[in-house]
Structure 1
Amino acid sequence: MAAILDTVGEQFDVQSLAEGMKQSLPKYAMPMFIRLINNNKGLDMTGTLKFQKFRLRDDGFNVENIEDTVFIYSTATESYSKMDLEKYKEVLKGNYRF
Structure 2
Amino acid sequence: MAAVTVNEGAQFDGSRIYNHVVNYLPSYARPRFIRIQNAVEVTGTFKQMKVKLVEESFDPGRIQDPIYILDGKEKSYLPLTAQVYCSIVSGNIKL
> TM-score range with shorter-chain normalisation?
0.7 to 0.9
Instruction: Name 1:23's counterpart in structure 2.
Output: 23
* 1:74–1:97 CA contact under 8 A, matched in 2: no
Instruction: Please list every run of 5 or more consecutive structure 1 residues that lacks an aligned counterpart in the other structure.
Output: none
How far 1:86 sits from its partner (Å)?
0.5
Residues 1-98 of structure 1 aligned to structure 2 (within 5 Å)? 1-37=1-37, 39=38, 42-98=39-95
d(CA) in 2 for partners of 1:29, 1:44: 23
Aligned length: 95
Instruction: Please list every run of 5 or more consecutive structure 2 residues that lacks an aligned counterpart in the other structure.
Output: none
Q: Residues 20 and 85 of structure 1: is their aligned pair in 2 closer, same or farther, counting only changes over 3 Å?
A: same
* 1:72–1:83 CA contact under 8 A, matched in 2: yes
d(CA) in 1 for partners of 2:50, 2:9: 22
For residue 26 of structure 2, what is the amino acid of its counterpart?
Answer: P
Which one has more relative contact order, counting CA pairs under 8 Å at least 6 apart? Answer: 2
How far 1:29 sits from its partner (Å)?
2.0
For residue 2 of structure 1, what is the amino acid of its counterpart?
Answer: A
How far 1:50 sits from its partner (Å)?
1.9
How far 1:19 sits from its partner (Å)?
0.6
How far 1:25 sits from its partner (Å)?
1.2
Q: Given the two structures, how large is their TM-score scaled by the length of structure 2?
A: 0.86
Q: Given the two structures, how large is their TM-score scaled by the length of structure 1?
A: 0.84
Which range moves more in the overlay, 2-11 or 15-24?
Answer: 2-11
For residue 4 of structure 2, what is the amino acid of its counterpart?
Answer: I
